[in-house]
């Protein structure tokens, strides 16, 4: 299989890796193209959707496309003796994408928990730093520490998400060192390629987190809302 860094498209790269769709009823996320058909029933909750809906919002798709553009750009002056500007750009964009994804996950999960807006704003305001969101706030709303969650979804999906989780932490440390000390030498020459190739795993990681921690909350509420006598009772297919 080709790595993402080896692929050149005549369209935005987000169409390749941000193509996940979400059920409008139970919020399960997958790549089932049947969801594009109006009235198609979700294979998880059994309810019809009006139309296909992308799971990731525009800001996230834009960041993915910017990373791709930065990776395929060329420096105005080639210099073997200093760090490449595109590596620095990719590192910063990759960390921004990571933070946008955790922000979206936390917000959607708190909404699924039906927390009052005032509580949501308070929790976000008290946990502004990214490390607080990945550690304190994540464990508060999911009941699991980040590393435990990574182990859980790795087992469920039979995919090892530990590498991309470690990469996110390493990238954050390098980004912070560059921003605060101006030290670009700590960034390996091929780190942009590493971040680029990790994008599919990064997106899959947050899809898996959503399906494990957020989807069940919405599904349960949806199930409870169905009348026992109704003909739309849900028979769940556990696809998580």
pLDDT at 240: 42
The answer to whether residue 190 sits within a structural domain is yes
pLDDT at 24: 94
166-184: pLDDT as tens digits: 999 999 999 998 888 877 7
The answer to whether residue 164 sits within a structural domain is yes
Strand partners, 238: none
The answer to whether residue 187 sits within a structural domain is yes
The answer to whether residue 87 sits within a structural domain is yes
The answer to whether residue 72 sits within a structural domain is yes
8-58: pLDDT as tens digits: 877 899 999 999 999 999 999 999 999 999 999 999 999 998 888 999 999
The answer to whether residue 129 sits within a structural domain is yes
Strand partners, 21: 30, 54
The answer to whether residue 43 sits within a structural domain is no
Which range of residues forms the domain containing residue 157? 57-225
pLDDT at 187: 85
The answer to whether residue 221 sits within a structural domain is yes
pLDDT at 83: 62
Q: Which two tokens stand for residue 113?
A: 């928990």
Tens place of pLDDT per residue across the chain (240 aa): 568 888 887 789 999 999 999 999 999 999 999 999 999 999 999 999 888 899 999 999 999 999 999 998 876 666 555 567 888 999 999 999 999 999 999 999 999 999 999 999 999 999 999 999 999 999 999 999 999 999 999 999 999 999 999 999 999 999 998 888 877 777 888 899 999 999 999 999 999 999 999 999 999 999 888 756 444 444 444 444
Number of separate domains in the chain:
1
What predicted TM-score, i.e. pTM, was given to this entire model? 0.89
By DSSP bridging, strand 21-22 and strand 29-30 are antiparallel
């Amino acid at each position: 299989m080709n790595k993402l860094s080896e692929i050149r498209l005549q369209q935005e790269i987000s169409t390749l890796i941000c193509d996940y769709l979400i059920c409008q009823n139970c919020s399960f996320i997958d790549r089932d193209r049947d969801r594009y058909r109006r009235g198609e029933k979700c294979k998880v909750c059994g309810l019809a959707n009006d139309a296909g809906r992308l799971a990731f919002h525009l800001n996230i798709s834009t960041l993915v496309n910017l990373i791709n553009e930065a990776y395929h750009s060329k420096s105005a002056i080639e210099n073997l003796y200093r760090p490449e500007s595109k590596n620095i750009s990719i590192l910063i964009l990759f960390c921004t994408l990571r933070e946008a994804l955790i922000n979206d996950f936390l917000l959607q999960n708190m909404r699924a928990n039906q927390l009052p807006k005032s509580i949501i704003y308070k929790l976000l305001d008290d946990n502004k730093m990214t490390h607080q969101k990945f550690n304190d706030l994540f464990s508060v709303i999911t009941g699991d520490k980040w590393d435990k969650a990574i182990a859980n979804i790795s087992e469920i999906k039979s995919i090892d998400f530990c590498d991309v989780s470690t990469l996110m932490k390493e990238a954050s440390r390098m980004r912070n060192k560059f921003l605060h000390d101006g030290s670009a030498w700590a960034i390996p020459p091929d780190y942009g390629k590493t971040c680029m190739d990790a994008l599919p795993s990064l997106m899959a990681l947050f899809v898996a987190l959503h399906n494990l921690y957020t989807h069940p909350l919405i599904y349960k509420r949806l199930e409870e809302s169905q009348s026992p006598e109704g003909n739309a009772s849900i028979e769940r297919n556990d696809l998580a």
